[in-house]
Each structure stands twice: as structure tokens, then as C-alpha cells.
Amino acid sequence: MRDRHSNGFYNRSSELRTIHNALRSDRAELVVMFGRRGVGKSELLVRAIPPRGFYYQATAQLMQQQLVDLTQELNRVAGGRAIIGQLDSFSAVLAAVVALARRDKDDPFTLVVN
């Protein structure tokens, strides 16, 4: 994956503001993003979430490989606060994400699986 916060990204300030406002909100929010293929939806998501947010772009690879990549992202987000061994199902990944999110109750946790 390309560096999530590199330069060369343009023309999305109002969309970023919309997403940031929803993420900052203390109420439940629903934001719908739609657009034709390749218009920049995924890139916008990547840019919109905080560096400590969990982001995973699903691929056509076998689930086994995707679980390796999901676990790696989980470890990145955990930032060395826990060594998380290889997770063997998507529900195990979600359970680990929930446990991580609950550790800092005052700190909102962002999860994106695209």
C-alpha cells in the first residue's frame, strides 16, 4: 500500500471536512460515499482516517493471506502495546479490534475495512 499520508493528493478538502466532522461528532453519524470506479473513494478514506486508525483494503488474495495482513495492521495500530499473534478468522480480528478500542475509552477508535 502507498504511504497513507504522502503528498500529491488534491481537491478533496470539502470531502475530508465532511468525514472529519462525522468522526469528531459525539452522535451516531452516517456518511455515504459513492462514485464511479477509480474516482478516488478508497484514497479519500485512507486520507480521512487518523494515522492510528485501522485501515484495511480487502484484496482478491486468499483469506489466509488477508488474515496475515489484517493482523499486521492490527499490530501497527496497537503500536507495541501488545504483541498480537496471528489471528485465524475475521471474527477474531474484529474481537481484537474491539478489545483494542476499549483500552482507551476516551479516545475514539476508527476502523475501516474497504
Ligand X SMILES: Nc1ncnc2c1ncn2[C@@H]1O[C@H](COP(=O)(O)OP(=O)(O)OP(=O)(O)O)[C@@H](O)[C@H]1O
Nearest alpha-carbon partner for 74 in 86, 62, 61: 86
Per partner kind, with CB cut-offs from 5 to 8 A, the member of ligand X, Mg ion, none near residue 37 is ligand X
Q: What's the min distance (Å) between Cβ of 108 and ligand X?
A: 24
Nearest by Cα to 86 from 100, 96, 99, 77? 96
Could you say which of 15, 23, 40, 42 contacts Mg ion (CB under 5 A)? 42
Distance CA 37, CA 58 (A): 16
Nearer to ligand X, 37 or 102 (CB): 37
Cβ atoms of residues 86 and 75 within 8 Å? no
Select the residue interacting with ligand X from 18, 22, 23, 42 (CB under 6 A): 42
Residue with cell 478514506: 45
The region of 18-26, 40-48, 81-89, 105-113 touching ligand X under the rule CB under 6 A is 40-48
Q: What single DSSP character describes residue 107? A: S
Residue (9 or 90) nearer to ligand X, CB:
9
Binding site for ligand X (CB under 6 A): 8-12, 35, 37-43
